[in-house]
């Protein structure tokens, strides 16, 4: 099995819409992904596994990284397997702490209407930035106990 890694870093101006992949981003303590619609909120950074996106593709949806409004698309790591408080090391400097698993959507968001279904409420996680830095596709991810 390959090492867990970042597949895509995604950004949007507002919350609840598909995000656009960018070549690299900047994560900041207390903020999240700089210039993203979620930055500075109680859910600083969102993560979703490529494996979850693949499940939606198998259902016939034409979806890609960022389409479920996640900031970081991962591969090779079962994000939902770790308890709240687990720390993830990304690249050389970044440290994230899992703060929430899944989310409640009181009403269907734009993604639900565009994609027909959203995996973020069931399979996405949220994290706070403990140590910031640059993040880019290909960065390794390590779980710290």
For the chain, the structural domain boundaries read 5-144
Residues of the chain with pLDDT under 70: 1, 103-121
What single-letter DSSP state applies at residue 140?
A: B
Q: What is the pLDDT of residue 58?
A: 87
**Token pair listed for 23:** 């070549």
Please tell me the CATH code under which domain 5-144 is placed: 2.40.33.20
Distances, alpha carbon 134 to alpha carbons 57, 90, 106, 117, in Å: 30, 10, 33, 31
Query: pLDDT value at position 142?
Result: 97
Query: In 10 A of CB 136, how many CB atoms?
Result: 14
CA distances from 99 to 3, 5, 20, 138, 144 (A): 23, 20, 24, 24, 15
Cβ(123)–Cβ(49) below 8 Å? yes
What pLDDT was estimated at residue 135?
A: 98
* pLDDT attached to residue 127: 96
E strand intervals along the chain: 5-11, 20-22, 25-28, 32-33, 45-49, 72-75, 87-90, 94-101, 125-131, 133-135, 141-144
Please report the pLDDT score of residue 106 as a whole number: 59
């Amino acid at each position: 099995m390959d090492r867990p890694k970042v597949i895509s870093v995604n950004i949007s101006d507002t919350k609840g819409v598909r995000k656009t992949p960018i070549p690299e981003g900047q994560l900041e303590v207390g903020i999240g992904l700089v210039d993203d619609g979620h930055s500075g909120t109680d859910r600083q950074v969102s993560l979703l596994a490529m494996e979850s996106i693949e499940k939606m593709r198998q259902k016939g949806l034409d979806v890609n990284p960022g389409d479920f409004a996640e900031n970081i698309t991962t591969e090779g790591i079962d994000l939902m397997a770790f308890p709240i408080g687990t720390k993830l090391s990304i690249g050389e400097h970044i440290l994230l702490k899992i703060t929430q698993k899944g989310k409640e959507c009181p009403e269907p968001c734009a993604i639900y209407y565009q994609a027909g279904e959203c995996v973020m409420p069931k399979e996405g996680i949220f994290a706070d930035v403990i140590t910031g830095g640059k993040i880019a596709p290909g960065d390794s991810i390590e779980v710290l106990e």
